[in-house]
Amino acid sequence: MKASRAFLVGLAVVFCAAGVRTYPRAAQSTQQPAPSPPSPQQPPPPQPFRTGTNLVRVDATVIDRHGEPVTSLTADDFEIDEDGVRQVIQSFKLVRASGHPAPDDDISLTIRSPAHAAAEAARDDVRVFLVFWDEYHIEPFIAATRARNALTKFMRTAFGPQDLVALMDPLLPVDAIRFSRDRTALADAVHRLQGRLGVFVPVRSAIEEAQLQQRDVRRIRAQVTASALKSAAAYLGTLREGRKTILFISQGLGALGRDAAIELQDVVRAANESNTAIYTLDPRGLMMRRPSDTLHQLADNTGGQALLNTNSFDSVLGQVVREASAFYLLGYVSPNTAVDGRFHKIRVRLRRDGLEVRARKGYWAPSLAEMTRSREAAARAESPPDIAIALGALPLANARTNVEVWTGSRRRPDGATDVTIAWMPRPITGPAASLSVIAQSGGARAFDGVVETSGVSFQAPPGPLRLQIGVRDGRGEIIERITRDVTVPDLSGAPLAMSSPILLRAANALQLRTLLAGPAPAPFPGREFTHTDRVLIRFELYGTAAREARVSARLRSRTGTTLVTMPVTALDAAGGLYQIDVPLSSTARGEFVIAIEASNGTQRATAQLGIRVGS
């Protein structure tokens, strides 16, 4: 029984935690590491965090008697204790977000893709809410109906146009969470939610089929919900460092029984490390005999609130949004230097009367074993220098730029070098219509003109080339300026040289036929693809050693491991033109490097391209 239950819960954790990155917990060091962009293998540090100086950050929400956030306090109004000892507040900041864009922010609010949602979630002025509908612990009739009605109105009226909102249930994998600003679509999704407390058939998945093989199905379901809630909190931590909110709608996890303390501690720890406040709502309202202790524990220990013993759902749900509109960041240097794996209590108090403050109750220090595992995992995940350079060229998911620009070089028939510029609007923005480019080599201009989406090529001498790019909208007005320095290679004298590989992308069979029918298809400037994309790579070899060169291509992971060797087709062996068909349909989600190598004796030419594969 114990082994089968462990297998079932493990299966549920894998299902619910798909796509969740593992965080090294707060740790000491004697040296502050250099910051680096977030990536699937190197997420931003969780909050509260500890740096080389043992700095701990606590988010505190302050509410007045009317339930409104208080924004007029100073650091002198707060007191912080750690393990009963008063601490000196070293840093203090008020963070405000109304859910409405700034007057000068004309970026479209519509969410176009998961990547766009992640980019928006990373912004400090965007509030992030996840509504977790615990269908396993909601009665299917009165409670579910009342909760759906209240939640429908909540979705339609409570949020600002800039807020990001998503729905989740215990069986939804976190990589399937979709944040939206479409309030109508969210309200429609709420109508389809069900309460399934005590309802075991029909089953929804293989996990539920396995549940029915167990004697204590209710306890297993409570464990599945707890695991999913923990995974949700960890996932939100990958989106940004700032505050996030989970609204957990449930009648409680009392079925956990003797495992409740451990299961809830894991959820609270994940929420604290990811800076996520959990608000709990019992849909029975005043119909309940006694509120669940588990709902109180989840809310009280994560800086949220237990919304219980009330039928005024509209009021309490609105409070969840209001409290996310303003909070204080308090930082202090912890006296704790032990690597003990213990929980250290934090208490935040106010020196003013008539106000209520909500904050986390503490943090877990890392244990020596955890630190060792984290260092080993970091070493295993570290990218070799060549891989790091290739992946470093990928655009950041939250980059606030309007365009993606690609530059490449190829040899002209007369031996000179042509530089090609290709570009496209980023899907998260889209107002860009053209580029104005000034290309300077030394003191001379190699190009000065407008570049349409079809791209442009111009001759440039080998050496440094500076591109001054102006991004223009449909009216011809510049909306962004970019400066990029590139090095133009000398492709004329080497016995073996390679052009810059170009990527060709087709979203369907018709696009592929059109692409292949053209004599010189335009390069695709992006580096982000889906599994349904058809992607080809073309490149040329030059020099006296090119004709007999051996050409190979490999798909490599972030750690440099070769995942698959890809066939290279000679489209024109005499002219040195080659093509690679990239197998995206069988490639997992993540970031990869395509390594191309041509060799002939001691002569060698290489290129590496970073790509990102989504859903």
Each residue of 379-403: pLDDT tens digit?
Answer: 666 788 889 888 888 876 656 677 8
Residue 35 lies in a domain: no
Residue 37 lies in a domain: no
The pLDDT value recorded for residue 108 is 59
Containing structural domain, residue 473: 385-613
**pLDDT tens digits for 250-283?**
999 999 988 898 999 999 999 998 989 999 999 9
The pLDDT value recorded for residue 615 is 67
The pLDDT value recorded for residue 581 is 92
**CATH number, domain at 591?**
2.60.40.10
Same domain, 309 and 420: no
**pLDDT tens digits for 303-319?**
999 998 888 899 899 99
The pLDDT value recorded for residue 281 is 95
Q: CB–CB of 594/537 below 8 Å?
A: yes
Same domain, 423 and 348: no
Residue 168 lies in a domain: yes
**CATH number, domain at 6?**
3.40.50.410
**pLDDT tens digits for 184-207?**
999 999 999 999 999 998 888 877
Which letter, b or e, does each residue of 390-421 get, where b requires 16 or more Cβ atoms within 10 Å of its Cβ? bbeebbebbeeebbbbbbbbbbeeeeebbbbb
Residue 39 has pLDDT above 80, yes or no: no
Residue 34 lies in a domain: no
Same domain, 148 and 187: yes
First-last CA distance in the chain? 37
Same domain, 321 and 333: no
Same domain, 256 and 342: no
Same domain, 237 and 317: yes
Same domain, 333 and 310: no
Q: Is 323 exposed, middle or buried (0-12, 13-18, 19+ CB in 10 A)?
A: buried
Q: CB–CB of 196/136 below 8 Å?
A: yes
Residue 108 lies in a domain: no
Residue 43 has pLDDT above 70, yes or no: no
Same domain, 209 and 76: no
The pLDDT value recorded for residue 24 is 33
Residue 317 lies in a domain: yes
**pLDDT tens digits for 456-474?**
999 999 999 999 999 888 7
Same domain, 148 and 214: yes
For residue 514, the Cα-to-chain-centroid distance in whole angstroms is 34
Residue 213 lies in a domain: yes
Residue 12 has pLDDT above 70, yes or no: no
Report the mean per-residue pLDDT for the chain: 85
115-119 mean pLDDT:
83
What residues contact residue 157 under an 8 Å CB cut-off, 6+ apart? none
Q: Which residue has the higher pLDDT, 47 or 566?
A: 566
Same domain, 432 and 293: no
Same domain, 332 and 319: no
Which letter, b or e, does each residue of 377-389 get, where b requires 16 or more Cβ atoms within 10 Å of its Cβ? eeeeeebeeebee
Residue 6 lies in a domain: yes
The alpha carbon dihedral of 65, 68, 74, 79 has a sign of positive
- Residue ending a domain, among 307, 325, 343, is 325
Does the predicted model carry a pTM greater than 0.75? Answer: no
Number of domains, the chain: 3
Q: Which residue has the higher pLDDT, 110 or 556?
A: 556
**CATH number, domain at 64?**
2.60.40
